[in-house]
Amino acid sequence: MQSILLGRRPRRTLIRAAVLVVVSAVVFGWILIPIRAQGISMQPTYEPGSFHFVNRLAFARRAPARGDVIGIRLAGPGVMYVKRIVGLPGERVRIDGGVVLVNDAALDEPYVKNRNPSWSLPETTLAGDEYFVVGDNRGMPIGQHELGKAKRARIVGRVVF
Amino acid sequence: MRLLARVVAIVLALVVAYYAYHWYFPDDEALIRARLDDLAATVSHTGGDGFSQLTRAAKFGTFFTEDVVIEIGGGIAPIRGRDTVMALAAKAQVPGEGFTIRFVDVTVAADPSGLSALATMTATAQGRSLGDFQAIDARELEMGWRKVEGEWRIDRVTGVETIQRPR
């Protein structure tokens, strides 16, 4: 029975199992944070109930970029907003007729499938540590959609998988 | 082997004693966390008639000081006073199948005086509207607590704007 469970070298098997547990705990506890999408603000990119991971090391070597889908923490890591970056620090961003304009130029957003032309937001200038974030579901009422400026310190990482 | 067994028994006894002590003599942080759990259970609604809503509103009021101020933000006017809070709770329109409130990522910092504390948390509200669709909202909150007649009560609730909407 022991040889079936642990193989011919039980000590090596146990060490391998222990290493696997530790590596998994580190990877999925600290680096790749599992998340489950709830809400409709990122449709159709992410459907409610779908599972993904937030890579906390994604911005270790580069700054967040336009188009990145990111996790934004609230009071802690247990609940995050998942939004897409459309504006970078120092830029002027506004929404007019459902179109995002960055420094007065319309942003090309192929990931947006449904656009509500009533979406409108006044222009805002992003500070050195601010990003403009918005969900991909532009068909829902703008009043029910969390969007706007997010501080760099609140960005947990980039959504992968 | 006997020595090892003794050491393990002593360590286990200390661990049990530690948790027993904190169970019977909870600190302020544990008391506030327990109050938050009770608040979430009270506010969560599983449907029901108007009488149960009145009862719930009455209990809801016991969590607040008389001069509580609730400022959630997002264009919603501040709510001042416990009586106002209870009146609004009694009149609140509840979705047919109710909703569930949870407080997540709670951090409590009690003042050394033991008379006030500050708690930060994420409040999530999850309800059922059409079929299996789960409507959800999440808000970051800051709560000021004050000890009144030996009981912790909320004297301030402030919404934290995680994502700042341009106005």
Question: pLDDT tens, position by position, for chain A (161 residues)?
Answer: 666 677 788 888 889 999 999 999 989 888 999 998 888 899 999 998 899 999 999 999 999 999 999 999 999 988 999 999 999 999 999 999 999 999 999 999 999 998 999 999 999 999 999 999 999 999 999 988 999 999 999 999 999 97
Nearest residue, CB atoms, B122 vs list A38, A79, A83: A79
Q: Does A76 touch chain B (CB under 8 A)?
A: yes
Has residue A14 been placed in a domain? no
**pLDDT-derived band at B47, boundaries 50, 70, 90:** low
- Say if A18 falls within a structural domain: no
- Which residue range is the domain that position A112 belongs to? 33-160
- The predicted pLDDT at position B97 comes to 67
Residues found in chain A: 161
pTM of the model: 0.83
pLDDT for the residue numbered B60: 86
- The answer to whether the CB atoms of A79 and B163 lie below 8 A apart is no
Within a domain: A5: no
Contacts (Cβ under 8 Å, ≥6 apart) of A132: A85, A86, A87, A88, A91, A93, A124, A126, A147, A148, A149, A150
**A76 and B134 in contact by Cβ < 8 A?**
no
For residue B101, give the nearest of B70, B122, B72, B130 by alpha carbon. Answer: B122
Q: Does A75 touch chain B (CB under 8 A)?
A: yes
Q: Which two tokens stand for residue A11?
A: 């000590």
Q: At residue B48, does pLDDT exceed 70?
A: no
- On whether residue A48 sits in a domain, the answer given is yes
Would the pLDDT of B133 be above 50?
no
Look at chain A and report how many structural domains it folds into.
1
Asked if residue A25 is part of any domain, the answer here is no
- Number of Cβ within 10 Å of residue B163's Cβ equals 20
Distance CA B61, CA B53 (A): 12
Would you say residue A111 lies in a domain? yes
Domain CATH number, residue A147: 2.10.109.10
What ipTM was estimated for this complex? 0.85
pLDDT band at residue B144 under the 50/70/90 scheme: very high
The dihedrals phi and psi of B2, each to the nearest 5 degrees, come to -65, -40
Measured in angstroms, the CA of A4 and the nearest CA of chain B are apart by 30
The reported pLDDT for the residue numbered A161 is 75
**Within a domain: residue A17?**
no
Enumerate domains of chain B plus CATH numbers.
Answer: 27-160 (3.10.450.50)
A48 touches chain B (CB under 8 A): yes
- Distance, C-alpha A31 to centroid of its chain: 14
Is A8 in contact with A34 (CB distance < 8 Å)? no
A23, part of any domain: no
